[in-house]
């Protein structure tokens, strides 16, 4: 496992921009070349012991991250936790896991079959959380997963890596309002996730979020290549709590819609 937070996120970012070419250009568009503070990154997995949320979380708790919030997504059959670092300029980490037993016997069999293909040591390797997929899968299996859970299909095809980074709008020198960030993105031709409206949340819940729809990448399946949704870019504006400090949690109703940024359109 990594021992240096900056090295870990630098490596995750390099993997992420391979999967999300638009992120590099958007980074330039919003930051105008200046460094950007990441509000958070997110990871996805299955709740199978070998790869569950806590297995992923160890890569962060071992370098000082602390579990701070729990979230439940009844309809999508997911749970999630968020983690914070004592240094508030380090990204928060949002990790979710699919409740595999809540799905059909077919999906459960498929997912178990994928996880069985993994080396036992893979999950503790330094690079695990930006190592991608550790198994073979064919296109019919991907489509069958998709019919039950877009999330399951995404993890099965894309694997272990940041599914998004998130620009902290509060730290952008040239933007204040999320509306203006969204307009700049649309003017440049990017497609925003409109599920539940382009802006999720509000000043009242102390968090406003928007995101692009995921880029498409060519993925190698065992029976050929296909173009599928990869990863997306998110934008978050936080508001102060009564004590004047910025809210650091997530909003489940908003997160529920952000998950859909990797849906096939
Ligand atoms: C996570 C979706 C939730 C947020 O900021 O609320 C989220 C995911 O898509 O894996 O990122
Ligand atoms: Ni997010």
Q: What is the ipTM of this complex?
A: 0.99
In the predicted model, is pLDDT for residue 2 greater than 90?
Answer: no
Nearest CA to ligand 1 atom 3: 255
Assign 34 a pLDDT band (cuts: 50, 70, 90): confident
Mean pLDDT of all residues in 111-133: 97
44 lines ligand 1 (CB under 6 A): yes
In this prediction, residue 33 carries a pLDDT of: 83
Q: Tokens standing for 225?
A: 């290549």
* H or E element, residue 61: helix 53-61
Can you give the pTM of this predicted structure?
A: 0.98
Domain ranges of the chain: 5-262
Residue 57 pLDDT class (50, 70, 90 cuts): very high
Q: Specify the range with the lowest mean pLDDT, choosing from 29-33, 63-67, 80-84, 227-231.
A: 29-33
The pLDDT of residue 210 is above 90: yes
Q: Is the pLDDT of residue 203 over 90?
A: yes
Report the phi/psi class of residue 197: left, alpha or beta, with left for phi > 0 and alpha for psi in -120 to 50.
left
pLDDT over threshold 80, residue 265: no
pLDDT value for 86: 97
Q: Is 168 in the pocket of ligand 1 (CB under 6 A)?
A: no
Q: Measure 258 CA to ligand 1 centroid, in angstroms.
A: 5
| d(CA 166, ligand 2 centre) in Å | 6
Residue pair 103/109 in contact by the 8 Å Cβ criterion? no
Q: Would you say the CB of residue 45 lies under 6 angstroms from ligand 1?
A: no
Instruction: Kindly give the number of the ligand 1 atom that is closest to the alpha carbon of 250.
Output: 6
pLDDT value of residue 3: 86
CA-closest candidate to residue 205, choices 149, 170, 173, 252: 252
What is the structure's pLDDT at 133? Answer: 98
Distance 223 CA to ligand 1 centre (A): 31
Instruction: Determine which residue's CA is closest to atom 9 belonging to ligand 1.
Output: 259
The fold adopted by the segment(s) 5-262 is: 2,3-Dihydroxybiphenyl 1,2-Dioxygenase; domain 1 (3.10.180)
Q: Ligand 2: distance of its center to the CA of 237 in Å?
A: 11
């Amino acid at each position: 496992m990594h021992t240096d937070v900056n090295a870990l996120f630098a490596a995750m970012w390099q993997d992420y921009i391979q999967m999300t070419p638009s992120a590099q250009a958007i980074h330039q568009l919003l930051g105008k070349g200046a460094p950007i503070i990441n509000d958070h990154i997110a990871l996805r997995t299955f709740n199978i012991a070998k790869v569950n949320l806590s297995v992923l979380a160890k890569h962060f708790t071992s370098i000082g991250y602390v579990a701070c919030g729990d979230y439940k997504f009844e309809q999508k059959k997911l749970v999630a936790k968020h983690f914070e670092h004592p240094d508030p300029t380090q990204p928060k980490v949002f990790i979710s896991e699919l409740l595999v037993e809540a799905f059909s016997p077919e999906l459960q069999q498929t997912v178990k079959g994928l996880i069985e293909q993994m080396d036992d040591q893979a999950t503790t390797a330094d690079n695990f959380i930006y190592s991608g997929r550790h198994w073979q899968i064919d296109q019919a299996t991907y489509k069958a997963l998709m019919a039950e859970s877009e999330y399951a299909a995404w993890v099965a095809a894309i694997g272990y890596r940041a599914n998004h980074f998130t620009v902290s709008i509060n730290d952008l020198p040239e933007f204040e309002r999320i509306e203006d960030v969204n307009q700049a993105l649309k003017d440049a031709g990017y497609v925003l996730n409109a599920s539940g409206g382009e802006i999720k949340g509000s000043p009242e819940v102390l968090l406003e979020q928007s995101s692009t729809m995921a880029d498409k990448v060519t993925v190698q399946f065992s029976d050929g290549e296909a173009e599928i949704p990869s990863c997306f870019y998110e934008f978050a504006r936080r508001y102060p709590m009564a004590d004047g400090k910025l809210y650091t949690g997530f909003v489940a109703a908003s997160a529920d819609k952000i998950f859909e940024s990797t849906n096939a359109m």
